[in-house]
């Protein structure tokens, strides 16, 4: 994999820290608004916690998808990527990994702290974090396909949500389901295994699909 | 057989035909200058040459093989500089050069990058972010890639735009040196520039 692509995208993210912080603060605020709005009903908060955290993670990761390729597209770097002797799929994989490191990992790290507001048990917090750790890379990888397809379109931001959010649904169901299953005493193993399977499948298929989409968008 | 050959190329944009029946061939040490008024399809032709656009008709051969079947093998031998320079505002000149070189498959060390930038007249400005550089200086950062790329075919779209007289002279000698060593150049320009080459082809698009 192209390590230097990851390095470059991280460097660019460091120079534009506000973009990264916007995503993180969006996540924190959305998750924190629910307990304030719903009220201090412990049982209700405990049941809704996984769903709320996961939906907020989906939206936060969506928020930053537009930036994934657009700046490279506008300054001509993307053209150079298409005619690079290196495999475009590998370059795309590097970009998706960088996107996850910048937007996904901070969410994973913040989720146990935010989970405390919902009175989740230690076990449930651990499962929530594990499910996010397996699920957020899938969001970046699937999102890359949507970002590539809507590249250079007017109103691409709305279109990318319409394209990508339905594809996020399985990740949402099994991610939130993992925590519910573990609190119900069923064990989260099955849900986490399925999330792992999604991750492997998207690792293989998404870079290829994204590379094809980029070539179509750039024609 | 010439190394690069285009035959009966046709370009269609939307429902307008920009050109058809364009033929050219290029051998080691030769220069192809593409002329034509604005909107005549010069950039489209260069994009076809890079494989970024597909010709509506005709084909482009590189050492006898269609470039679309060669892909990576062909991309390793060309350097394309388009209208968009690919220079990132938030990166410094030296980071820009090193990253664009790595992207084209030839990683270079800091030493070499410094040397190339100094030669392009950017000495002392290597560590400035590109957003504080002028238009001409950003162009120089993009062009400095030619000094380190080591590829055979250079495809340059308006390389002289925004350059001052000294930089134009520098480019002229750089192109001549490349052609002397058996390289090939395809370029568009609105400026008159005299480049000594084994043979210079002119392609007029109307």
In A, which residues are within 8 Å of B100 by CB distance?
77, 80
> Among A67-76, A80-89, A100-109, which range has the highest average pLDDT?
A100-109
How far from B12 is each of A21, A69, B46, B53, CA to CA, in Å? 45, 27, 14, 11
Backbone φ and ψ for A165, nearest 5 degrees, come out as -55, -45
In A, which residues are within 8 Å of B87 by CB distance?
75
Condensed to tens digits (0 to 9), the pLDDT of residues A34-52 reads 989 988 888 889 989 999 9
- Helix pair A156-183, A122-149: axis angle to 10 deg: 160
Compute chain B's Rg from CA coordinates: 17
Search chain A and give the residue with CA nearest B138: A75
Quick one: pLDDT band at residue A85, thresholds 50, 70, 90?
confident
Determine, for residues A75 and B86 on separate chains, whether the beta-carbon distance falls below 8 Å: yes
* pLDDT value at residue A54: 95
In A, which residues are within 8 Å of B107 by CB distance?
4
Length of chain A, please? 219
Tokens at B112, concatenated: 């070499």
Condensed to tens digits (0 to 9), the pLDDT of residues A163-187 reads 999 999 999 999 999 998 988 888 8
Quick one: pLDDT band at residue A2, thresholds 50, 70, 90?
confident
- Helix pair A122-149, A88-99: axis angle to 10 deg: 140
Mean pLDDT score, A91-101: 94
**pLDDT tens across the length of chain B (206 residues):** 788 998 899 988 888 888 888 899 999 989 999 988 888 889 889 999 988 888 889 999 999 888 888 888 888 889 999 888 888 888 999 999 998 888 888 888 888 888 889 988 888 888 888 889 998 899 999 999 998 888 899 999 988 888 888 888 899 999 999 999 989 999 998 877 788 777 888 888 87
Longest dimension (CA), chain B: 50
* pLDDT value at residue B204: 86
Determine, for residues B78 and A77 on separate chains, whether the beta-carbon distance falls below 8 Å: no
Say if residue A60's pLDDT is above 90: yes
Cα–Cα dist B66/B47, whole Å: 15
* pLDDT value at residue A140: 95
Condensed to tens digits (0 to 9), the pLDDT of residues B40-58 reads 889 889 999 988 888 889 9
Say if residue A135's pLDDT is above 70: yes
* pLDDT value at residue A23: 92
Quick one: pLDDT band at residue A1, thresholds 50, 70, 90?
low
Using CB atoms, which residue from A8, A85, A219 is nearest to B72? A85
* pLDDT value at residue A16: 87
Tokens at B96, concatenated: 């820009």
Q: In sequence order, which residues have a C-beta less than 8 Å from that of residue A89 and are 6 or more positions away?
A: A207, A208, A210, A211
Determine, for residues B80 and A80 on separate chains, whether the beta-carbon distance falls below 8 Å: yes
Mean pLDDT score, A18-25: 90
* pLDDT value at residue B84: 86
Condensed to tens digits (0 to 9), the pLDDT of residues A191-200 reads 999 999 999 9
* pLDDT value at residue A203: 95
Gap from B79 CA to chain A (nearest CA, Å): 9
* pLDDT value at residue A196: 96
Cα–Cα dist A8/B97, whole Å: 12
Find tokens 């656009």 and name the residue.
B53
For chain A, give the percent of residues with pLDDT over 70.
Answer: 100
Quick one: pLDDT band at residue A133, thresholds 50, 70, 90?
very high
Q: Which residues of A touch B (CB under 8 A)?
A: 4, 8, 11-12, 15-16, 71, 74-77, 79-87, 91, 218-219
Determine, for residues B105 and A74 on separate chains, whether the beta-carbon distance falls below 8 Å: no
* pLDDT value at residue A186: 87
Say if residue A6's pLDDT is above 80: yes
Search chain A and give the residue with CA nearest B71: A85
């Amino acid at each position: 994999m192209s390590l230097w692509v990851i390095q470059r995208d991280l460097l660019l993210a460091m120079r534009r820290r506000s973009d990264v912080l916007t995503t993180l603060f969006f996540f924190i605020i959305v998750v924190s608004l629910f307990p304030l709005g719903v009220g201090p009903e412990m049982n209700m908060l405990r049941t809704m916690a996984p769903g709320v955290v996961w939906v907020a993670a989906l939206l936060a990761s969506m928020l930053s998808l537009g930036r994934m390729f657009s700046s490279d597209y506008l300054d001509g770097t993307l053209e150079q990527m298409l005619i690079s002797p290196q495999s475009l799929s590998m370059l795309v994989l590097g970009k998706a990994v960088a996107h996850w490191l910048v937007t996904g990992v901070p969410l994973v790290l913040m989720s146990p702290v935010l989970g405390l507001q919902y009175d989740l048990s230690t076990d449930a917090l651990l499962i929530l974090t594990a499910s996010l750790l397996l699920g957020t890379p899938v969001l970046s990888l699937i999102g890359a396909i949507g970002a590539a397809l809507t590249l250079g379109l007017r109103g691409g931001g709305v279109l990318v949500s319409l394209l990508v959010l339905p594809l996020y649904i399985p990740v949402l169901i099994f991610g939130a389901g993992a925590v519910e299953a573990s609190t119900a005493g069923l064990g989260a193993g099955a849900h986490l295994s399925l999330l792992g399977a999604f991750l492997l499948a998207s690792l293989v298929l998404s870079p290829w699909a994204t590379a094809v989409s980029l070539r179509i968008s750039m024609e | 057989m010439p190394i690069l050959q285009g035959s009966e190329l046709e370009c269609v944009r939307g429902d307008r035909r920009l050109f058809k029946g364009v033929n050219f061939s290029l051998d080691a040490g030769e220069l192809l200058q593409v002329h034509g008024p604005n909107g005549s399809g010069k950039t489209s032709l260069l994009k076809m040459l890079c494989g970024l656009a597909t010709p509506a008709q005709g084909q482009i051969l590189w050492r006898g093989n269609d470039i679309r079947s060669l892909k990576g093998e062909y991309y390793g031998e060309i350097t394309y500089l388009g209208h968009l320079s690919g220079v990132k505002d938030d990166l410094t000149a030296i980071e820009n050069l090193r990253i664009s070189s790595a992207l084209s498959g030839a990683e270079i060390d800091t030493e070499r990058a410094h040397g190339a930038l100094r030669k392009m007249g950017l000495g002392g400005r290597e560590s400035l972010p590109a957003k504080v550089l002028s238009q001409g200086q950003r162009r120089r950062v993009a062009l400095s890639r030619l000094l380190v790329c080591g590829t055979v075919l250079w495809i340059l779209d308006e390389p002289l735009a925004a350059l001052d007289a000294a930089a134009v002279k520098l480019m002229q000698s750089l192109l001549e040196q490349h052609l002397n060593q058996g390289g090939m150049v395809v370029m568009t320009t609105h400026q008159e520039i005299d480049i000594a080459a084994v043979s210079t082809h002119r392609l007029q698009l109307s």
